[in-house]
Amino acid sequence: MTSLPRSAPVPSDSADAGSAVAPPPKLLDRRRIHLRTRHYSIRTEEAYVDWARRFILFHRKRHPQEMGAPEVEAFLSHLAVERNVSASTQNQAKAALLYLYKQVLGMDLPWLDEVVQARRPKRLPVVLTPSEVRELLLHTAGTPPFICRAFIAGGI
């Protein structure tokens, strides 16, 4: 029968064995793990983690659990007004914060659904008036008329 040498540590069920447990992952690491286990794309993961980091830094490194609707609205307003980001960028930031609160922190926050979604401006087509078309055609001497009309009809 073989025995352990005297210098080998003997496993025990004492409280000391439980002290070697690793600390829980930090918030951004938890978010990254959460996104990966749900098979989000790496680009989405990077964007969502970056928006959470920006949100935390904007509020002087306060933990999101300590914040609520006023802080989220302040951050989204800051993006639109001071940073002059597009509506789609602001909406991506809102989606990232919504995911952070609902999925990662497990906080049911009905107020976050009510935060105003930025809207993309409607783009109107540029249309020439009939008199502008006539003026344009007068300056195209030597060009066959059907080519000019095709350019105008095509919006070129």
Range of the domain at 133: 124-156
Check whether residue 107 and residue 132 sit in a common domain.
no
Q: What is the pLDDT of residue 8?
A: 46
Range of weakest confidence among 30-39, 91-100, 136-145: 136-145
Percentage of the chain with pLDDT > 70?
76
Q: What is the pLDDT of residue 34?
A: 80
User: In total, how many domains does the chain have?
Assistant: 2
Buried b (16+ CB within 10 A) or exposed e, 91-123: bbbbebbbbbbeebbeeebeebeebeebeeeee
- Which CATH number belongs to the domain containing residue 99 in this structure? 1.10.150.130
- Domain annotation covers residue 22: no
Check whether residue 42 and residue 108 sit in a common domain.
yes
Check whether residue 32 and residue 65 sit in a common domain.
yes
Give the model's confidence band at 148: pLDDT under 50 very low, under 70 low, under 90 confident, else very high. Answer: confident
Largest CA distance in the chain: 110
- Domain annotation covers residue 60: yes
- How confident is the model over 61-119, as pLDDT tens digits? 999 888 888 888 899 989 988 888 888 899 899 989 988 888 888 887 676 666 666 67
Q: What is the pLDDT of residue 92?
A: 93
- Domain annotation covers residue 92: yes
pTM: 0.59
Check whether residue 42 and residue 64 sit in a common domain.
yes
